[in-house]
Amino acid sequence: MASLELKDLYDGYRDSKTIKLLSNQIAKEASSLSKDLKIMEVCGGHTHAIMKYGLNQLLPKNIKFIHGPGCPVCVMPKNRIDHAITLANMKDTIIVTLGDMIKVLGSEGTLQDARSKGADVRFVYSPMDTVKIANENTDKTVIYIAIGFETTTPMISALIQATINKGIKNLFFHINHVLVPPAMRVLLDDETNNIDAFIGPSHVSVISGSKIYDEFADIYKKPVVVSGFEPVDVMESVLMLVKQINESRSEVEIQYSRCVNHEGNTTAQRLNDKYLEPRESFEFRGLGEIPKGGLKLKDEFAFLDAEVIYKDILPHNTCQDHKLCLCGEILKGKALPNECKLFGKACTPTTPVGSCMVSSEGACAAYYKYGISN
């Protein structure tokens, strides 16, 4: 029997005939639309799929994608980077985080810059690797700078649990986990928004379930389809959204049913709820303070919270982005990366000016990578 290869799992979702068929069906369905349709893909992973496979070019003229705030690195404000750099500059301290985070510009540089000046900044692929770092460096303070959406929060909760259960005394946490629904709420509460429907983030929904989008269909009357990341997934999701609009429906539908259900991973949700809770508000770069937009350690775990322990040295200033950078407008779906004067000139992935060019999931990085300049 022939062995199964990785590509066997996704080949069907990249089949050009199926994509073409879906494109034709979308065009047919879209011919009945009474106005142009603007679909926001909240997630950076979808932005990349759209650009990589040129899916925007397969849509009729009356349907447009707009790119939302779906990358945790892109929405991280400078102040949080300044916190991380301040902690990195402390004596006998090791900072651990995920790769993209070390390239994001704070008010006076990046974690990478701090490292080049002697700070011990390391990145890991799995947060759990931090346990080994802490155990090998018991004479040092190890601080994990946690970043991500709902997708990766359970990994942090598991690391917090391991820290407590294993009695690790030198590992602390600076939590920057952000939540998708509060950001979507802020976008829709802005009366100038031009969002008609959403392609919902799928990895987030694997953990949280599609239930987190119910309010957008029920209260805001916006159709939502939770979509997979392959081109067939995205095109099928667009078709499902156009059908909802034509039939005057606003529902939460799951296209990515191979991984997502309404309730999500309740074990992971319970783990998160044990250690973390929503903050009063959290600043998103470009969107400002968002009520309940981020998570923090519960008060009973304040002994692990670097923000509490080092509160006297952490900076509290709010820093503005470069005045020509359109990240804020891009994250609200009001501008496209190639409308920025710095795009591809002063701002490239090797010389990022704004956060949307830093992260591999950022909209500007996607436009640059796939050569979309006009």
> Considering the rule CB under 6 A, would residue 186 count as an interface residue with ligand SF4?
no
Nearer to ligand SF4, 178 or 245 (CB): 178
Residue 311 burial class via C-beta count within 10 angstroms: exposed 0-12, middle 13-18, buried 19 and up: exposed
Q: What is the contact mask toward ligand SF4 in residues 32 to 71, using x (rule: CB under 6 A)? A: -----------xxx------------------------xx
Asked whether 364 and 340 are in contact (CB, 8 A), the reply is yes
> Considering the rule CB under 6 A, would residue 234 count as an interface residue with ligand SF4?
no
> Considering the rule CB under 6 A, would residue 357 count as an interface residue with ligand SF4?
yes
Which amino acid appears at position 249 of this protein? R
Q: Least separation, in Å, of the C-beta of 44 and ligand SF4?
A: 4
Q: Least separation, in Å, of the C-beta of 94 and ligand SF4?
A: 25
- Residue by residue, DSSP assigns 11-41 as GGGG-HHHHHHHHHHHHHHHTT-SS-EEEEE
Nearer to ligand SF4, 87 or 197 (CB): 197
Q: Least separation, in Å, of the C-beta of 76 and ligand SF4?
A: 12
Secondary structure class of 148 (helix, strand, coil): strand
Cα separation, 319 vs 101, whole angstroms? 17
User: Beta strands 295-297 and 276-278: pairing type?
Assistant: antiparallel
Closest CA to 255 of 272, 269, 267, 239: 239
Nearer to ligand SF4, 168 or 290 (CB): 290
Nearer to ligand SF4, 143 or 327 (CB): 327
> Considering the rule CB under 6 A, would residue 127 count as an interface residue with ligand SF4?
no
Cα separation, 112 vs 119, whole angstroms? 9
> Which residues, 321 to 340, sit near ligand SF4 by CB under 6 A?
325-327, 330, 337, 340
Secondary structure class of 71 (helix, strand, coil): coil
Asked whether 328 and 287 are in contact (CB, 8 A), the reply is yes
231-246 helix and 16-30 helix, angle to the nearest 10 degrees: 20
CA geometry: angle 266, 209, 59, nearest 5 deg: 160
Closest CA to 294 of 276, 319, 314, 318: 276
Q: Binder to ligand SF4 among 151, 157, 176, 210 (CB under 6 A)?
A: 151
> Considering the rule CB under 6 A, would residue 203 count as an interface residue with ligand SF4?
yes
Query: Which of the stretches 108-116, 248-256, 295-303, 347-355 binds ligand SF4 when contact is defined by CB under 6 A?
Result: 347-355
Sign of CA dihedral 251, 252, 258, 261: negative
> Considering the rule CB under 6 A, would residue 343 count as an interface residue with ligand SF4?
yes
Q: Least separation, in Å, of the C-beta of 96 and ligand SF4?
A: 19
Query: Which of the stretches 79-87, 239-247, 291-299, 349-357 binds ligand SF4 when contact is defined by CB under 6 A?
Result: 349-357
Site size toward ligand SF4 (CB under 6 A) is 25
* Contact residues: ligand SF4, CB under 6 A: 43-45, 70-71, 149, 151, 201, 203-204, 325-327, 330, 337, 340, 342-343, 347, 353-354, 356-357, 361, 364
